[in-house]
Chain A
Amino acid sequence: QKEVEQDPGPLSVPEGAIVSLNCTYSNSAFQYFMWYRQYSRKGPELLMYTYSSGNKEDGRFTAQVDKSSKYISLFIRDSQPSDSATYLCAMSETGGFKTIFGAGTRLFVKA
């Protein structure tokens, strides 16, 4: 079993839809949770960064962490064609040496 599981998709939605992206993990020691967006042939861009459980909102993006279920989510409201990219979840332990990445979910938002 991988430490972090993420459905690779692709996920295709119409413009304006609410997108839900998810990851599950097995390591209960993870405390830092991140979501990255990666456009083709570009480096990943940090979208959201949360510590421990709870919600965090930034514009159209909301990140949720449920440590009891070992489940994290990223919601994108009013999705736009420019949101079409690969979204990677990532997590690490306090003082951890490595960040563990999900496989990435490819999202397509159709105009």
Chain B
Amino acid sequence: GAVVSQHPSWVICKSGTSVKIECRSLDFQATTMFWYRQFPKQSLMLMATSNEGSKATYEQGVEKDKFLINHASLTLSTLTVTSAHPEDSSFYICSARGGDNEQFFGPGTRLTVL
């Protein structure tokens, strides 16, 4: 299957700082990228969907000013958690979809905000 990378794989930061997470599709062009959040033993929660070159579409209840998404190219999307707080600590996973509707996930980023 296609490969999606995420960086960093884990990050610890102080409350009030911003954290950027990168998501790259390594061997295909992703027409759409998705960002999910997952709490322990719970399913994936879709945060936002982005298409290259256009603004992200956020799910209800997700603050777009707090979770900034940039889909700069067909292979790169970034999620920036601004002014992170302990309640933002979670497992963030991106996924990328090509032209045939198959959706591939990155390995995830574990964020811990102290």
Contact = CB atoms under 8 A, between A and B. Distances in A.
**Interface on chain A toward B: helix, strand, loop, or mixed SS?**
loop
Interface in A58-107: 88, 90, 92, 94, 96-99, 101-104
**Interface on chain B toward A: helix, strand, loop, or mixed SS?**
strand
Interface in B66-114: 91, 93, 95, 97, 101-108, 110
A99 B104 CA distance: 11
Contacts of B110: 41
B43 A41 contact: no
Interface of B: 1, 4, 6, 32, 34, 43-44, 46, 49, 57, 91, 93, 95, 97, 101-108, 110
Interface of A: 32, 34, 36, 41-46, 49, 88, 90, 92, 94, 96-99, 101-104
Given A43-B6, A44-B44, 5 more contacts: A34-B103, A43-B108, A49-B102, A99-B97, A103-B43
